[in-house]
Structure 1
Amino acid sequence: MSQPDARLYGYARVSTTDQHLTVQREALIRAGCTTIREEKITGTTTEGRKELRILMDFVRSGDTLVVTRIDRLARSVGDLQDIVRELKAKGVALKATEQPIDTSTAAGKAFLDMLAVFAEFETSLRQERQLEGIAKAKAAGVYRGRKPSIDAGEIARLRQDGLGPSEIAKKLGIARASVYRALAADDGPAAA
C-alpha cells in the first residue's frame, strides 16, 4: 500500500547515443512520473549506470520505479533480480508501462520473472547471430575486422632510427607492450 507522500519515479535508457529517449520519456510522463532519470548506456550490465544508481539510492518505501519495459532496466536475469531484490528490501514497487508488470502483485512478479528469462535469451541469441554473421563474412572474405590502431611500419621506422621501445611508445602514445608485440611480429622475437 502506498504512502501519502509516495511518488512515481521514471527510468529511461537506450543503448547507444544515436537512439532517442523521447518515446520512453513521454510514456513515463503519461504514467504519472514527475521525476525521470535517463541515460544512454548498455543494459547488459548495471556497471556505470549512474542515473539508475541515483534512483535506486533515492527511492523510499511506498515509492514506485516505473520503466516502459523491463529490458530498459536490465538485460540479464541476474541483474534484474538484484534490482528487484533491492527495490523490495526498500519497500519500492516496480511497474512497466508496456508490460503487465507490477511487483506489488503476485501475477506481476511472476510475469516479471518470465520476461527476464526471455530478455536474457534474446540477448544470447543476438550475440550468437552476430558471431555467425562475422564468421560467414570472414569466410566470404568480406569481413577483415577493424583497422589496426597501431602503425607497425612507423614502429619499425622509429626502431631503425635508434629509438628504444619505451621512447617509441611515448612518441606514438601507445603502450610499450604494443611496441614489443609489433616488433616481435615484424622481425621475430630477436627484435624486441
Structure 2
Amino acid sequence: MTKSTKTGHLYGYARVSTSDQDLAIQEEALRAAGCTVVRSEKKTGTTTKGRDALQTLIDFAHEGDTIVVTRIDRLARSIADLAAIVRTLEAQGIALRATEQPVDTATAAGRAFLQMLGVFAEFETAIRRERQMEGIARAKAEGVYKGRKPSIDVARVREMMAAGAGATEIARSLGIGRASVYRLMQKKAA
C-alpha cells in the first residue's frame, strides 16, 4: 500500500513515439499539475526497453512520491508492461497518477480504472496493427504499395565505383552506410 501522495514529490513523465512529435503539451500539463521534475523521451510505448527517462524516474522516486503522466498510454501500451511498472512502483511505495484520466494508484478506484485503461490500450494497439497490415496487404494486391522509397541511388553508386572511388568515399559522399556500398559491389560482381 502506498503512502499518501500529499507529503511526497510529484515527478512527471512525458513520452511521444516519434522524433517529429512534440512533447511540449505534455510537459506543460505535467508542470501545471505540480510536478517539480519532468523527464521526457521520444521512444515507442510498445516496450519499456531503452526508455531511460522512465527508468531514471522510477529509480529516483522515493516512498510517498508520485509519478504523473498525462495519460496511461504515455507510460505503456501493453498490459504486461503496465502491470510491471505499477508493481515496481507499488513495491517502492510510489503512486502513479494521470492528469487526463481518473487514475491514481493511491486509491482503490484509481487502481481499478488503471487496469481497465490498460486493457483498452493494448486492444487499441492490436487493432491498429491489424488495420495497418490489412491496408498494406490491400495496397500490395492492388499494385499500389511499393514499400518505402529507396534511400540509395544505385546508379550514382555504380557511377562512382566505375570512376574508381572506394566504398568509404562513396558512402561518405552519398551519406549512406559502407555496408550498403559493399552489398552493391557484391551484386555487381555476381
Same fold (TM over 0.5): yes
- Out of 134, 137, 140, the residue aligned to residue 135 of structure 1 is 137
Higher relative contact order (CA 8 A, sep 6+): 2
Per-residue deviation at 1:127? 0.8
- Asked which structure has the greater CA Rg, the reply is 1
Per-residue deviation at 1:171? 6.3
| TM-score, normalised relative to structure 1 | 0.79
> Given the alignment of the two structures, is residue 115 of structure 1 paired with residue 112 of structure 2, yes or no?
no
Per-residue deviation at 1:137? 1.4
Output the CA distance in 1 between the equivalents of 2:112 and 2:47: 22
- Out of 17, 30, 52, the residue aligned to residue 15 of structure 1 is 17
In structure 2, the residue matched to 1:90 is 92
**3-state DSSP class of the match of 2:145?**
coil
Per-residue deviation at 1:75? 0.7
In structure 2, the residue matched to 1:70 is 72
Unaligned ranges ≥5, structure 1: none
> What is the aligned length?
183
Deviations 1:132-153 (A, max 9, x none): 1111111222210023445666
Per-residue deviation at 1:95? 0.6
- Out of 39, 42, 48, the residue aligned to residue 40 of structure 1 is 42
Distance 1:82 1:169, change over 3 A: farther
| TM-score, normalised relative to structure 2 | 0.80
CA contact (8 A) 2:68 2:98 kept: yes
Per-residue deviation at 1:30? 2.2
In structure 1, the residue matched to 2:174 is none
In structure 2, the residue matched to 1:145 is 147
Unaligned ranges ≥5, structure 2: 172-176
Over the aligned positions, Cα root-mean-square deviation in angstroms equals: 2.6
Output the CA distance in 1 between the equivalents of 2:54 and 2:86: 13
1:76 maps to a residue whose letter is: S
User: Percent of aligned pairs with the same residue?
Assistant: 58
**3-state DSSP class of the match of 1:141?**
coil
